[in-house]
Structure 1
């Protein structure tokens, strides 16, 4: 049986692609992180990461281990819940970024509802900027959203890169303003896209605005323009705009879990902690 602590360390290294960052997030020394990974690799008999001076990458076996590790940790969490003899009750107000509508998040929430049927889970799907505002106002207990420069805290769940996406049929004219499909303010992806275009002097015009990811995806599939989106969450029917189009790099993006500072009672705190553990054990996407 694989050691849960080693599996959690493995997942955090896979999320951050950094032994140092994983150690910071888990509160472990880098040597301990390396030891956990080495012992897990010895147990499976195969390397899970490739390491060189340029960074850390998952091997093919490491990619396979992601699913196994999530399943094992989720099973451990369910078993612990069952035998602790305490049933969670109360109301949990959880907010998730629009980005995760098409991810593994529904599967994680389904598991949480199955394991804790007496918790009234209230789900809010919104822009990351809006979720940060609602959390600060005490209207949410737990949030899964993009990390913002204004609110740099939170526990890292996943790090990725923002890219330009659109329909395969879309043809961009370099002599005309870039047609943009964007969320309304305070969308963090919108702000990043406009800032980068301004910095590079690339003219743009907004051809579609929608507060719904499905609305933006429909416009992009229709070939109205391009949208900035997380590389690992590209919706079906859309593709990354090739580098030859000359669009500027959008940079990295981090998704974090944030707890409300003004949670109403111990039941809400316990439910938030349990859902956070489930997300970290089986991280999206």
Structure 2
């Protein structure tokens, strides 16, 4: 183990050219300086300095040790400066419902980065039910998700209407199975859609499965079928439909996770998400 005290003493000797001058610079006794050098040479098993009654010179190994010592001490100082800085550092692991990975989330992430530039944000987008499970396993610090069915899971941020969505020119022939574009199981909106159709005694077919928002939106824009979205997060180019389709139960978006300590970056992120409120409904301004 290379003791940083020995390394600092060694550099002082190398830079001042003598044990006495190094002792004065470090405010140490000369015997202490000599002891540090002996211990350092003993650890590396090499002679680092040549001495006579008048001069001290570096050996070849001593020249190499100067570079190593400066690097080790420099890294140590960088670490101390990093953790002693006024800005906190660390990592926040945030899970977000696939439907919310929009400009709304971008604005929040930008605000957070400006306030905490040294906090790393691990962002996981996905379906709400799997994110809820990952949170329960401790793989996420918090999750912004749709409320799992029948299970209060966090702080309710807003309540939203679920609507059937399609292209503006979508037509559904009465009596034909409703073509559905859905997320794979487990999906809360998929379950709500199928439940509503069953209760309304409407037949359906799964015309497309898509595990990401972009794929699901693309499939609906391509005319492959209709989908279910919260009204506040309907993708661009798609519109709510009213073709006698059964009414859907509303949905709640919640922020789940352990309660953050007040004044911490995680607490600030929670406040930013809560203050942002419900995403603005397209076409409302």
How far does residue 150 in structure 1 lie from its aligned partner after superposition? 4.2
Preserved CA contact (<8 Å) 2:159 2:252: yes
1:28 matched to which residue of 2? none
1:44 matched to which residue of 2? none
Deviations 1:99-154 (A, max 9, x none): 11224111111110111011111000000111101001110001101111243131
1:228 matched to which residue of 2? 228
Aligned partner (choices 261, 270, 280) of residue 274 of structure 2: 280
1:256 matched to which residue of 2? 254
2:205 matched to which residue of 1? 205
Give 5+ residue unaligned stretches, structure 2: 1-84, 280-285
Please give the TM-score of this superposition, normalised by the length of structure 2: 0.65
Preserved CA contact (<8 Å) 1:136 1:260: no
- Measure the CA separation in 1 of the matches of 2:164 and 2:176: 17
- Measure the CA separation in 1 of the matches of 2:151 and 2:209: 25
Preserved CA contact (<8 Å) 1:259 1:272: no
1:47 matched to which residue of 2? none
1:271 matched to which residue of 2? 265
**Taking CA–CA contacts closer than 8 Å with sequence separation of 6 or more, which of the two structures ends up with the larger relative contact order?**
1
1:87 matched to which residue of 2? 87
2:59 matched to which residue of 1? none
- Measure the CA separation in 2 of the matches of 1:132 and 1:240: 28
How far does residue 234 in structure 1 lie from its aligned partner after superposition? 1.2
- 4+ runs of 1 displaced by more than 2 Å? 85-88, 269-272
2:139 matched to which residue of 1? 139
The within-5 A match list for 1:114-153 is 114-153=114-153
1:158 matched to which residue of 2? 158
1:97 matched to which residue of 2? 97
- Measure the CA separation in 1 of the matches of 2:155 and 2:258: 13
1:218 matched to which residue of 2? 218
Preserved CA contact (<8 Å) 1:140 1:260: no
Please give the TM-score of this superposition, normalised by the length of structure 1: 0.65
Answer with 1 or 2: which has the greater Rg: 2
SS class of match (2:139): coil
Deviations 1:247-273 (A, max 9, x none): 001121110111148x9xx79x93322
Preserved CA contact (<8 Å) 1:105 1:284: no
- Measure the CA separation in 2 of the matches of 1:126 and 1:193: 19
SS class of match (2:101): helix
1:172 matched to which residue of 2? 172
RMSD over aligned CA atoms reads 2.0
SS class of match (1:123): strand
Preserved CA contact (<8 Å) 2:210 2:216: yes
- Measure the CA separation in 2 of the matches of 1:129 and 1:88: 32
SS class of match (2:170): coil
Preserved CA contact (<8 Å) 2:232 2:278: no
